[in-house]
């Protein structure tokens, strides 16, 4: 998405000249989820070898750090693989930490997902994300905590345990309403 008119998400997350507040980050993730939810099924029907209505086997390379376990092990892609990647991207968006950050070492069992799972919300979110947004710091932390919980549900190890993308988007919209209300 580097050719977006306002710049890439990477630019907005990692450049010190830009800042996205919680609401803007939430809106971006809702929009990205909608784009994936609408188009994903058509994409899988045209990729690789179709194994059934929702799983294909392919040799396409994916971005390290966002790859679901079943894709990495067996080359199987499905909508649940995208849900996994979406969960990782959700974590990245609210922690401002890449899954490929040098402090994570898969061989030692360290990853963005494990770090997020083992830490408190206060430890993992961008330090000034909640403080810059006004008076209701506890309400903001509650919303970000709900987003992090959803991200972890998206990135469950087993595809069968991952949340459906429609439920993800419904939940994000509810969190958005809670955040602005």
In a domain? residue 1: no
What is the value of pTM for the model shown? 0.79
Q: What is the number of alpha carbons within 13 Å of residue 112 lying toward its C-beta?
A: 27
Spatial distance between the Cα atoms of 147 and 67, rounded to a whole number of angstroms: 20
| 116 found inside a domain | yes
Has residue 2 been placed in a domain? no
pLDDT tens digits, one per residue of 145-166: 999 999 999 999 999 999 998 8
Answer whether residue 10 is part of any domain. no
User: How many C-beta atoms lie closer than 10 Å to residue 158's C-beta?
Assistant: 10
For the chain, how many structural domains are there in total?
A: 1
- Measured CA to CA, the distance from residue 101 to residue 103 in angstroms comes to 6
Domain encompassing residue 101: 15-180
Q: Rounded to whole angstroms, how far apart are CA atoms 116 and 126?
A: 12
What is the domain-level CATH number for residue 127? Answer: 1.10.510.10
- Transcribe 39-58 into DSSP letters: HHHHHHHTSSEE-SSSEEE-
Q: What is the pLDDT of residue 67?
A: 79
Is residue 100 domain-resident? yes
Residue 9 domain flag: no
Instruction: Look at residue 107 and tell me if it is in a domain.
Output: yes
Dist. CA 144–CA 124, nearest whole Å: 10
**CA–CA gap between residue 112 and residue 124 (Å, rounded):** 10
- pLDDT of residue 33 exceeding 80, the answer is no
Q: How confident is the model at residue 78 (pLDDT cuts 50, 70, 90)?
A: confident
């Amino acid at each position: 998405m580097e050719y977006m008119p306002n710049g890439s998400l990477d630019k907005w997350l990692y450049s010190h000249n830009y800042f996205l507040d919680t609401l803007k980050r939430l809106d971006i993730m809702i929009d990205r989820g909608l784009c994936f939810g609408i188009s994903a099924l058509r994409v899988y029907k045209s990729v690789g070898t179709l194994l059934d209505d929702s799983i294909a086997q392919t040799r396409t390379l994916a971005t390290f750090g966002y790859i679901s376990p079943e894709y990495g092990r067996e080359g199987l892609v499905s909508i649940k693989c995208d849900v996994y990647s979406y969960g990782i991207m959700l974590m990245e968006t609210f922690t401002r930490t890449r899954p490929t950050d040098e402090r994570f070492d898969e061989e030692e069992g360290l990853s963005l997902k494990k770090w997020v799972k083992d830490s408190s919300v206060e430890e993992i979110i961008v330090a000034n994300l909640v403080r810059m947004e006004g008076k209701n710091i506890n309400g903001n932390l509650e919303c970000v905590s709900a987003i992090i919980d959803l991200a972890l549900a998206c990135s469950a190890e087993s595809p069968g345990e991952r949340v459906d993308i429609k439920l993800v988007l419904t939940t994000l919209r509810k969190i958005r309403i809670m955040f602005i209300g």
